[in-house]
């Protein structure tokens, strides 16, 4: 009986690891809203370097990406993070089987999201577009309305 339990546990463990390796990474060029934002070479975790493509974004596109990211950042709750055991298993399995790295370090992802929002807001100002009041938007609850640019068209 004990041998059946060990075999069943082993099967489910193998199936869980295998299923995690079956996921694929997104192939889009836009700043992905489900994976880590890509920052330029030499940038620290608290800074974000806009890519050449992002520098060409219109005010409307920058505003849209920022609205979605603000909604996501508002929902960030450190207490809802996955356990360290789950994150450790994912970090070991991802290089072996492939898959996503989302969720391995939620606090770092949150810092990167904030840095991206700052960089995009500065880009809006440089393009003479309305900017977001990031401090006010981030204080709002997750269920608040869609963020809207309210700032002046000068540097935030």
For the chain, what is the domain count? 1
Q: Is residue 12 part of a domain?
A: no
Which range scores top for mean pLDDT: 29-33, 72-76, 85-89? 72-76
Q: Look at residue 13 and tell me if it is in a domain.
A: no
Residue 8 belongs to some domain of the structure: no
Does residue 60 sit within a domain?
A: yes
Residue 112 buriedness (CB in 10 A; 0-12 / 13-18 / 19+): buried
User: Residues for the chain: how many in total?
Assistant: 156
- 113 within domain boundaries: yes
Domain around 61: 32-156
Q: Does residue 80 have a pLDDT over 70?
A: no
In a domain, 44, yes or no: yes
Q: Domain for residue 150, yes or no?
A: yes
Asked whether residue 27 is assigned to any structural domain, the reply reads: no
Of the listed ranges 63-67, 85-89, 126-130, the one predicted with least confidence? 85-89
Task: Band the pLDDT of 74: cuts 50, 70, 90.
Answer: confident
């Amino acid at each position: 009986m004990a041998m059946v339990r060990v075999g069943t546990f082993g099967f489910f463990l193998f199936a869980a690891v295998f299923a995690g390796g079956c996921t694929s990474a997104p192939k889009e060029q836009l700043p992905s809203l489900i994976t880590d934002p890509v920052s330029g070479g030499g940038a620290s975790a608290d800074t974000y370097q806009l890519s050449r493509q992002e520098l060409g974004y219109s005010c409307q596109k920058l505003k849209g990406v920022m609205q979605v990211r603000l909604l996501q950042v508002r929902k960030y709750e450190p207490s809802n993070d996955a356990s360290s055991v789950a994150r450790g298993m994912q970090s070991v399995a991802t290089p072996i089987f492939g898959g996503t790295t989302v969720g391995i370090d939620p606090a770092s992802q949150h810092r990167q999201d904030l840095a991206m929002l700052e960089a995009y807001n500065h880009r809006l100002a440089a393009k003479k577009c309305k900017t977001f009041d990031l401090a006010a938007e981030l204080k709002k609850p997750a269920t608040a309305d869609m963020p809207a640019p309210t700032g002046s068209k000068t540097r935030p």
